[in-house]
Structure 1
Amino acid sequence: MSMRCLLVDDSARFLEAARALLERGGVQVVGVATTGAEAFARAVELAPDVALVDIDLDGENGFEVAGRLAGSVPAVILISTHSLEDFQELVAASSARGFLHKSALSVRAIRELLGP
């Protein structure tokens, strides 16, 4: 099954690397965004199946961005270079499907979080 993904991160370098990694694994990265406003516009325009949202967006709260995206994207996954332990309660209380450390990002890990 094909998956359409929106990447939301303030690091151009990470966006480029994540796009390449996911596309090699068969995920269609339909768009990228570096801010919450850009993410919302892309989500409405591109209708992705999943959005990967950095917890630490430059000057923005990734949890809030994820919460707002949850209304228009079927699944939101939070990502970060911080460990899950740093944000476990916030992740659990969020509308996100789950959390992935950026170093563990893979198509398989995304599919495992999304379930059947």
Structure 2
Amino acid sequence: MALRCFIVDDSPHFLTAAQTLLEREGCAVVGVASTTEEALRRMADADPDVVLVDVNLGSESGFDLAQRFQREATVDQSRVILISTYAEEDLWELLGAAPAAAYLPKSQLSAIAIRRILDGTQDQSGPRSP
């Protein structure tokens, strides 16, 4: 069964590239959004296995969106993966407080990396370790 992914990013170029990459690797991209409100609105119908959320959504924050997912019980934090072009070290403090399964640099985005995070087999320090 294909992994059902939802992607939240304010870059149309990245959304297209990520969707193409993940679908080529056997994932089903069941939705995309570029803003917090759009993501919340589309999430109910999409029923994804995982939500990839860019930490920087233009004038909005992906960290805030992850917190809203948790508060509003829209998505369990074990299914949220924060993504960004920023180095993980630059985001330690924010990642440590984020209700998310992990952080994945955009340059390492792949179906295998997502599955490893969801399965708990990715060898990484994760967002909760300083």
| Structure 2 length-normalised TM | 0.84
| Pairs within 5 Å for 1:1-116 | 1-70=1-70, 71-74=73-76, 75-115=79-119
Between the aligned partners of 1:67 and 1:112, the Cα distance in structure 2 is 23
Between the aligned partners of 2:48 and 2:68, the Cα distance in structure 1 is 14
**What amino acid is the match of 2:115?**
R
Between the aligned partners of 1:46 and 1:32, the Cα distance in structure 2 is 9
**What amino acid is the match of 2:75?**
V
Task: Name structure 2 gaps, 5 residues minimum.
Answer: 121-130
Q: CA RMSD in A?
A: 1.2
Between the aligned partners of 1:76 and 1:6, the Cα distance in structure 2 is 10
- Aligned residue pairs total 116
Q: Work out whether residues 43 and 69 of structure 1, in 8 Å CA contact, stay in contact via their aligned partners in 2.
A: no
Indicate the percent of aligned positions where both proteins have the same amino acid.
Answer: 51
Structure with bigger gyration radius? 2
Offset of residue 92 of structure 1 = 2.1
Task: Name structure 1 gaps, 5 residues minimum.
Answer: none
Offset of residue 49 of structure 1 = 1.1
Between the aligned partners of 1:16 and 1:63, the Cα distance in structure 2 is 22
- Deviation per residue, 1:34-82 (Å, 9 max, x gap): 0000001111121111110000101001101112224222410000000
